[in-house]
Amino acid sequence: MRTLVLAGLCVAASLALGEDGAPTDVDEGATTFAGQSLVGAIAFQGKAMTVGGQSVALADVDRITVVGDAASSSLAAPVGVWLVDGGWVPCSTPTPGSQPDTIAVTTPYGTIELPLGEVLGWGPRADDRPGDAPPTGDRVVLAAEGGTTIDGSVLGVGPAGLTMKTSLGEIDVPLDGIARLRLGLPASPPKGLHLTVALDPTRPPCAFAPERPLRLRAAKDAVLTPPAQGWRLRVEGGRRVYLSALKPSAQEESGAFGTTWPWQRDSDLDGGPLLLAGVRHARGLVLHSRGRLTWDLAGGYTSLRGLIGISDLVDGEGDCAVTLSGDGKPLWQRESVRGGEAPHAVEVGLDGVRTLELLVEFGARYDIGDHLAFADAYLVKK
């Protein structure tokens, strides 16, 4: 009985966000991986889409701008709900929904309904996650009583609140008394062609099905309406392949003082989120100096794109030399990438390249703070 519904009070928010957190243009349109810009009304047709009546394969599209009419508002104490596919949505404090085993919330982009099985939990907007689940079962942290923790199994949601089975029997916990909820469900990232946008640049992006109106991929009945300023959506599952999804064919790592920090995919070296210049990136690599990673591409890609900089974790420390090479020839390099600097945008051609290498060398201060992030690094398939 794991169902929830989101619908409810008033909420927070930011202007419509592009991937860098800035407001987007107001014209609907799309950009392909080949660099073609199309302007016009957007419609989806299975694995294709039309822009102003012109058809294009969805897999060939890099980004899409859609425009709606949702008004955004501010919320004094915003909450975030984590979806089972890893996405995050800002919302009001949950209340019991209109159906059994549902909750209701309002987002800046409309009210939505979700089954409980599509939610990992919720908590204050400042939380990086809604809290850790126990080894087995679910966890509630109460808003009062010093943040008392209750472990057990969530049985459902009703007018009395969240029903839990605990070691002391079944109890009902009013939803407005819950500071954090973490359900012991595994995250299940979306597969196939889908669209994503970060509703907050410091939180994971939400996934949508490629259709109008825009429905959350985690719950087909949950519709969010883009604001008039527009959303710049990214097309996933087509020709975009994240570098972190590929297994390196070779790797070398050695620290300056005998300590080595193993490279990480889709997180920082401490296992926390990958933050670069205040923006959270769901995908990317972090490599400490001195380190080298090599991938066998077999000539199957046309380009490599991403952002290179020192991760926010080291708070302005770090200075290292970085080289990207294809078949032994430099494609992009910097003698000094320093903490606190703006990230460097990378876009290099890979036509015919069979072997890609990322090399991070010691800088002015040996390896101190050298958390080199290659954020949002992706390849474009032929």
Question: Could you give the domains of the chain?
Answer: 1-26+67-237 (no CATH), 240-381 (2.60.120.1060)
Q: Where do the DSSP E strands lie in 58-102?
A: 61-66, 79-83, 88-91, 95-96
Q: Provide DSSP, 314-335.
A: GTT--EEEEEEEETTEEEEEEE
C-alpha separations of 194 from 13, 165, 238 in Å: 24, 36, 9
Whether residue 215 contacts residue 82, with contact meaning beta carbons closer than 8 Å, is answered with: no
Condensed to tens digits (0 to 9), the pLDDT of residues 306-349 reads 999 999 999 999 999 999 999 999 999 999 999 999 999 999 99
Task: Give the CA angle between residues 228, 105, 198 to the nearest 5°.
Answer: 50
How far apart, in whole angstroms, are the C-alpha atoms of residue 30 and residue 206?
19
Average pLDDT over residues 33-48: 95
Average pLDDT over residues 356-372: 92
Token look-up 């407001």 returns: 23
C-alpha separations of 262 from 267, 269, 271, 274, 281 in Å: 12, 7, 11, 15, 19
Whether residue 274 contacts residue 265, with contact meaning beta carbons closer than 8 Å, is answered with: no
Condensed to tens digits (0 to 9), the pLDDT of residues 151-206 reads 999 999 989 999 999 999 999 999 999 999 999 988 899 999 999 999 988 899 99
Per DSSP bridges, beta strands 371-381 and 329-338 are unpaired
Q: Which two tokens stand for residue 303?
A: 């380009």
Instruction: Write down the pTM of the prediction.
Output: 0.87
Average pLDDT over residues 121-147: 84
How far apart, in whole angstroms, are the C-alpha atoms of residue 275 and residue 21?
13
What was the pLDDT predicted at 130?
Answer: 67
Give the closest residue to 206 by CA, choosing from 107, 124, 86: 86
The continuous run of DSSP H or E covering 109 comes out as none
How many helices (H) and strands (E) are present in the chain, helices listed first? Answer: 0, 33
- The sign of the torsion formed by the CA atoms of 99, 101, 104, 110 equals negative
